[in-house]
Amino acid sequence: MNTKITELLGIKYPIIQGGMAWVAESTLASAVSNAGGLGLIAGGSAPIDYLREQIRKTKEAVNGKPFGVNVMLMSPNAEDLAKLVIEEEVPVVTTGAGNPGKYMDAWKEAGIKVIPVIPSVALAKRMERAGADAVVAEGTESGGHIGENTTMCLVPQVVDALEIPVIAAGGIADGRGIAASIMLGAEGVQVGTRFLAADECQIHSTYKELVVKAKDTDSIVTGRTTGHPCRNIKTKFSKKLASGEKDGSITPDEFEEITLGSLRKAVQDGNLEEGSFLCGAIAGMITEIKPCKDIIEEMFSQAENLLNK
Ligand code: TUI
């Protein structure tokens, strides 16, 4: 499937793996890139030396194929990571949770393709003016830090507002989601949750089990009182946080305190008592753990069949 995104990035399939904090490391990123998509390493808030090693490992594993790094702009390491991607000649950068405007000129000068993730038309327009090569329009169905608008509503509005290509994200886990995104005017998709249940994804087995066992109603948003809403899998912990926020028994400061380190506890320890298992609302559709190559090839074979009808 050739689109403006396969052309822009030099990849076989117009699919970007989500830059999931604590999850997206070199094994997953290189598997996605080697399967013909664009694999991403998540900056998250990891130490810079660790990220340098992750970038070098990925570069070696993909043997010249493109890959990228996601810079989480709320993270304290964002400034250092913004420099590191230039030093390490990373071909593609995506950004999340903020406005990457202040880094844009330096990245463009270094020849980096820049793709900000945005939750609104206003931000999309600002990113285009700042020199972005494409944007990811991310609906509220996504896992992790989210905006308010749905993928179905956001994507066509961003497509209408911009000249640069738009990549759809949020709620896409099979070929139907890809075909629908193309119908909405997107030139590609970003997929996170489906790759949580990939063989190459290095998260704790408890996390993968939660994804595979999730039903359609097993997704919950926490953090609304802090201004940073986050979609998780329903667990006792996430339900307790959400109800505490609702009845006021957990203040925003207490919320920040309770959830400090909770992503790491989910990903590395599979800790159901204190971990935040970030995950999109589409998890209910995911029932099988398999290699990235099979996931991507099946998704695109189904999408092409649908689009050719
Ligand atoms: O960034 C994400 N998803 C994430 S980041 C993350 S780690 C985290 N840790 C603690 C609290 C919250 C998150 C987990 N998931 N997706 C991309 C995304 N970007 N969604 C929404 C936005 C966004 C929000 C505001 C982008 C720009 C923006 O701009 C505000 C401004 O500065 O004008």
**What is the DSSP annotation of 286-297?**
----B-HHHHHH
Give pLDDT, residue 45: 84
pLDDT in tens, the chain (309 residues): 899 999 999 999 999 999 999 999 999 999 999 999 999 999 988 999 999 999 999 999 999 999 999 999 999 999 999 999 999 999 999 999 999 999 999 999 999 999 999 999 999 999 999 999 999 999 999 999 999 999 999 999 999 999 999 999 999 999 999 999 999 999 999 999 999 999 999 999 999 999 999 999 999 999 999 999 999 999 999 999 999 999 999 999 999 999 999 999 999 999 999 999 999 999 999 999 999 999 999 999 999 999 999
Comparing CA positions, the residue from 191, 139, 189, 187 lying closest to residue 168 is: 189
Task: Give the Cα separation of 262 and 73 in Å (integer).
Answer: 19
Give pLDDT, residue 114: 98
Do residues 3 and 303 lie in contact, with contact meaning Cβ atoms separated by under 8 Å? no
What domains appear along the chain, each with residue ranges and CATH number?
A: 4-201+285-308 (3.20.20.70), 215-278 (no CATH)
Give pLDDT, residue 162: 98
**Residue 132 in contact with ligand 1 by CB distance below 6 A:** no
How many other β-carbons are positioned within 10 Å of the β-carbon of residue 243? 13
**Residue 118 in contact with ligand 1 by CB distance below 6 A:** yes
Give pLDDT, residue 79: 96
**Residue 123 in contact with ligand 1 by CB distance below 6 A:** yes
Taking the centre of ligand 1 as the mean of its atom positions, its distance from the CA of residue 98, in whole angstroms, is 6
Token pair for 271: 């800790």
The pTM of this model reads: 0.97
Looking at the DSSP bridge assignments, the partners of residue 16 are 38, 190
Looking at the DSSP bridge assignments, the partners of residue 170 are none
Taking the centre of ligand 1 as the mean of its atom positions, its distance from the CA of residue 75, in whole angstroms, is 10
**Residue 96 in contact with ligand 1 by CB distance below 6 A:** yes
Task: Give the Cα separation of 158 and 268 in Å (integer).
Answer: 36
Atom 28 of ligand 1: nearest residue by CA position: 98
Give pLDDT, residue 44: 85
Sequence-distant contacts of 211-219: CB under 8 A, at least 24 apart: 211/279, 211/283, 211/286, 212/286, 212/287, 212/288, 212/289, 214/279, 214/283, 214/284, 214/286, 215/284, 216/281, 216/284, 216/285, 217/284, 218/283, 218/284, 219/279, 219/280, 219/281, 219/283, 219/284
45 Cα nearest atom in ligand 1 = 7
**Residue 228 in contact with ligand 1 by CB distance below 6 A:** yes
**Residue 72 in contact with ligand 1 by CB distance below 6 A:** yes
